[in-house]
Amino acid sequence: MIECNVIHQAFAAGVTRLLQLGSSCIYPRAVPQPMREDALLTGVLEPTNEPYAIAKIAGIKLCESYNRQHGTDYRSVMPTNLYGPGDNFHPENSHVLPALIRRFHEAAEAEAESVTIWGTGTPRREFLHVDDMAEASLFVLDLPKAQYDANTQPMLSHINVGSGTDVSILELAQIVAGVTGFKGRIKTDPTKPDGTLRKLMDVSRLATMGWRARIGLEEGIADAYRWYLNNRDMARL
């Protein structure tokens, strides 16, 4: 309802150009990888985040409906997993990458012998630095309408935004260990759930229009870690 109200009030206020941000969770649970834009509404959603996914899908469809009915220029971008400065590093309710940064940092400080990660470490995930996401958002918003229209469809207008590459959770943990200076062993716990085995975005539509991510994963993690070190008091909340 919040999303729908924001879009409607933007229209009521005379806003003719708008960018709506969604999420990769809009795609069905069992979908070919990498996930193309035309996979939307082709299958059952992941049950654990179905309400969130439906809200984001509603935002896409509302933007498309205003465009067709009122001639607005409302666009939607669907980012993959984001990370970077200002992230949530809470020990219990943060996402996987900031959670790993904090755990490996604290393990390095304590000179711990090992860090255990959940699951087998084999699931693969894609990550995009927030600066890349900001750049991509402005790129899409600033595209000439003719170019945007030529690369989308009136009822399939959203655009995936991602790095186009993924890593296993174990590989991710190894990169974080290197960045934070952790020298111990990395263990896996197969008794814990792995979750979805792979979630990779097909970013060819955006690449065709002229934008690609520029910040490599290790470089981006190092940037996020610097922010964490400079803001640990706040990040420890």
> Cβ atoms within 10 A of the Cβ of 59, count?
23
Quick check: 190 and 119 in contact, CB under 8 A? yes
Give strand pairing partners of 159: 77
Q: Name the nearest CA neighbour of 122 among 187, 174, 171.
A: 171
Longest dimension (CA), the chain: 62
DSSP structure class, residue 38: G
- Catalytic pick from 27, 52, 66, 83? 52
For residue 127, which of 163, 161, 93, 103 has the smallest C-alpha distance? Answer: 163
Rounded Cα–Cα distance for residues 99 and 116 (Å): 12
- Contact 4/18 with Cβ under 8 angstroms? no
The answer to whether residue 52 is catalytic is yes
Q: How many CB atoms lie within 10 A of CB 213?
A: 25
Which residues belong to the active site?
Answer: 52
